[in-house]
Amino acid sequence: MKAIIFARVSTQEQEEGYSIPAQIKRMCDYAQKKLLPVDKVIKITESSSQEVRTKFNELISYIKSSHETFCLITDTVDRLQRSFRETPILDDLRKKGKIEMHFLRENLILNKNTNRSMLTFWDMSVLLASSYVRNIGDNVYRSMAYCAKEGKCMYKHPFGYKKDYSLDPHHSILVKKVFDLYGTGTYSFEQIVKLLSHEYKFTKRGIQTILRNEFYMGKVKFSDGRYEHNYPKIISKNKFDKIQTILKKRCKSHRSRDIYGNITTPGEVPKGQTSIF
């Protein structure tokens, strides 16, 4: 039987003892002690609670496509899974004799002959890992809510700002130009994209996203609330409100036809007109 070493961290910044090199060393020492030749070492930086686990799925495909039985070695149950989503897949491979699972810290070995009490212990370990993830999620939510109320933002900085939410000298001016141009009521999204193409490669969707982002006028949105943030503003609230009024007017004509019979779309000026007014 060959061994597959599975090492995973959720982020690059992990607590000491759970780093990728530390996990691999423990598992390789274990495989050597058990006289198991290592076939593959899987190193993953991803959350095991996310919907799509690309590397994990690749591992499963590799095991299924092989005619061999593998010893899947991992540090703890929660390094392999933090929800019951993968349990049916792993259990099916176990029942078919395709894998043996070795969890070092739990001192747990699962194969096709494992009794029910050990399988129940596995289930309980997954349940505890899943509960841990939910608690982390609750703590993160509370932390983000507190920061929002204090005028701080924990989201990725929007276009026009640096990572520390200070103004980007060049991009913040472009944001202001987008608002100024659209605020005239003369330009469509596509026309603004063309006008600013020599300065930045915007898309129509990108222009619309900028125009609807309240952050630029001093608001940070969290859950159902909107809070004043402590960062520099690019436009005034009055200008932002004016833009939203123009956007709503143009959205109402989404499926209407112009005098030439053409269907207009949000943010587009009907053919033959120079202004929406």
Domain boundaries, the chain: 2-134, 154-277
Contact in structure between 97 and 63 (CB atoms under 8 Å): no
Q: Percent of the chain, pLDDT > 90?
A: 54
Identify which has the larger pLDDT, 94 or 250. Answer: 94
Q: What is the pLDDT of residue 228?
A: 85
Q: Report how far residue 73's alpha carbon sits from residue 101's, in angstroms, rounded to the nearest whole number.
A: 6
Q: What is the pLDDT of residue 221?
A: 78
2-16, 58-72, 96-110 — which is least confidently predicted?
A: 2-16
Contact in structure between 181 and 195 (CB atoms under 8 Å): yes
Q: What is the pLDDT of residue 207?
A: 94
Averaged pLDDT, 167-189: 94
The highest-level CATH class for domain 2-134 is alpha beta
Contact in structure between 87 and 123 (CB atoms under 8 Å): yes
Contact in structure between 273 and 188 (CB atoms under 8 Å): no
Looking at CATH, the fold of the domain delimited by 154-277 is given as Hect, E3 ligase catalytic domain fold (3.90.1750)
Encoded amino acid at 180, one letter? D
25-34, 79-88, 124-133, 212-221 — which is least confidently predicted?
A: 124-133
Identify which has the larger pLDDT, 251 or 230. Answer: 230
